[in-house]
């Protein structure tokens, strides 16, 4: 993906060796926008795992916050699927069974997603009415289906080191889309 920076450091850790046997995954997400609307970026930090980031040239802060959550959930599902490492070109009973095991194990994994977007966290936890970005809400709903997720709000620009790291990741991604000023 051209607009996404991915840093992988799988070599000296066991965190992602088998996502299906893990009991918990903790993820920090954030979005940033330079102007609202304006160039924006999103960031994701999977604790003891990957860092993901990307952005768009013209967007809003809420869209970037939501995109970060979508990218985090895609990472979870992609890595769970990769762990299956089975040939899915045939439709044998064993492969159907393996898919069910993968889904079951992923459902048993406790996922905690931290965000400094109170709007998003309250909408997910308290069923606040969705008024905008319905396309992104639909993606989030599809990706979170059948997952055991806790949605946790963290105060922005405060003492939470992981939230500060993901904020910087999102901000730096947004800066890549900022157009230089003509003097």
Comparing CA positions, the residue from 28, 58, 62, 63 lying closest to residue 45 is 28
Q: Which domain holds residue 41?
A: 5-12+24-85+95-175
Q: What confidence score (pLDDT) does residue 14 get? A: 42
Choice among 38-42, 116-120, 175-179 with the minimum mean pLDDT: 175-179
Pairing relationship of beta strands 51-59 and 110-115 according to DSSP bridges: unpaired
Assess if residue 183 is contained within a domain: no
Assess if residue 71 is contained within a domain: yes
In the predicted model, what is the mean pLDDT of residues 78-84?
70
Assess if residue 108 is contained within a domain: yes
Assess if residue 182 is contained within a domain: no
Q: Is the Cβ–Cβ distance between 5 and 54 less than 8 Å?
A: yes
Q: How many domains does the chain have?
A: 1
In tens, the pLDDT along 86-139 reads: 445 555 554 544 444 445 567 678 999 999 999 999 999 999 999 999 999 999
Assess if residue 155 is contained within a domain: yes
Assess if residue 169 is contained within a domain: yes
In the predicted model, what is the mean pLDDT of residues 4-20?
40
Q: Is the Cβ–Cβ distance between 34 and 163 less than 8 Å?
A: no
Tokens linked to 54: 């990307």
Assess if residue 35 is contained within a domain: yes
Tokens linked to 48: 């003891």
Assess if residue 110 is contained within a domain: yes
CATH number at residue 130: 3.30.420.10
In tens, the pLDDT along 158-175 reads: 889 999 999 999 999 999
Q: Is the Cβ–Cβ distance between 44 and 173 less than 8 Å?
A: no
């Amino acid at each position: 993906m051209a607009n996404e920076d991915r840093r992988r450091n799988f070599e000296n850790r066991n965190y992602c060796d088998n996502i299906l046997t893990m009991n918990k995954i903790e993820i920090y997400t954030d979005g940033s926008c330079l102007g609202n609307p304006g160039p924006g970026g999103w960031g994701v930090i999977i604790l003891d795992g990957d860092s993901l980031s990307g952005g768009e040239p013209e967007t809003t802060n809420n869209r970037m916050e939501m995109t970060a959550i979508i990218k985090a959930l895609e990472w979870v599902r992609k890595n769970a699927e990769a762990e299956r490492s089975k040939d899915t070109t045939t439709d044998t009973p064993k492969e159907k069974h393996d898919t069910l095991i993968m889904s079951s194990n992923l459902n048993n994994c406790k996922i905690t997603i931290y965000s400094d977007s109170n709007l998003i966290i309250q909408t997910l936890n308290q069923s606040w009415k969705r008024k905008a970005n319905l396309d992104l809400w639909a993606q989030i709903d599809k990706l979170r289906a059948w997952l055991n997720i806790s949605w946790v709000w963290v105060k922005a620009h405060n003492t939470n080191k992981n939230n500060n790291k993901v904020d910087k990741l999102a901000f730096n991604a947004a800066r890549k889309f900022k157009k230089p000023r003509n003097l």
